[in-house]
Structure 1
């Protein structure tokens, strides 16, 4: 049976992804900062795991509790506190990057030894159209109207991370998904990428409607 770890899995997109992957036959470990918030994930049949992607000790303990790992879904993210230039400062950037970027690297690096034992290992990084320059420049795209600099830049970094990881470990299927602007309905791309086989894509950015090659 496929073993999957989903971060930020106690609510929203992470919880819906957890539900759908359990329905698809995965054993899902639902990562969350506060185990007391995990009843909804447990009710679905997931195993709740304390996991704060901003804390190396928490990451190490969570990964250490797993005997195998086939799919890693880096879903945990924060919008941040800065919405325009008037409230932008370095601290706002740092806080957002700590979860959305450094958290992805921290957890992925810790998970690589287990993932390398799987066949085929899969990583899905939940990104956003706000991190895709083409979308930010297109007035017809919803992302054009988003002005929050820390969040957009953090998701651009997630796309770059996806490219570089895919190039560095070609034996893994490593892709980014865009859930769009929905609370729970935007999991189609994430779930589809979590279910791919050894001949599936890598280094791609998938929305609910289409893939885009990143590398």
Structure 2
């Protein structure tokens, strides 16, 4: 007769897994900024410069300026004064001679000073002073310039490892049940006792 019933309860569980993942979300896109300065040329020119000085040439032809006459005037005035003074001194000396009259003195003077001066200055003897500077040109070139500013895309990589989840639904167990009857001592105390004959 079997008195004990043993029941084995197995372990019951659920396993769920997730694979590893690598995500690359793009946060900021790439940008390129370009700044260009164009070519620039500056040209500074100077024309031909010519200088002509004809004052000495004109002087050689007898054509003088007011300034030249102003410079020569004091010297000529002194010379004229000296000549007139000498002339009057000579006239006074002649008047002291016996038999000399004023009319005789004037006649001698007119005969002795009969001179003719001609000035021909149509052909210059001095050249015109000429000087010149050649034309010039200065170039200032500013080269074109290009500046590029690169901004790379900002990216972050996110790694999600694999995961395993174990969910236990039922723990393992052993159930022991006593399926036998009661033992009465003495046996006659069992209500179902029947005495054997």
Same fold (TM over 0.5): no
Higher strand share: 2
Q: TM-score, normalising length from structure 1?
A: 0.17
Which protein has greater RCO, CA pairs closer than 8 Å, 6+ apart? 2
When you count helix as a share of all residues, which structure comes out higher?
A: 1
**TM-score normalized with structure 2 length:** 0.18
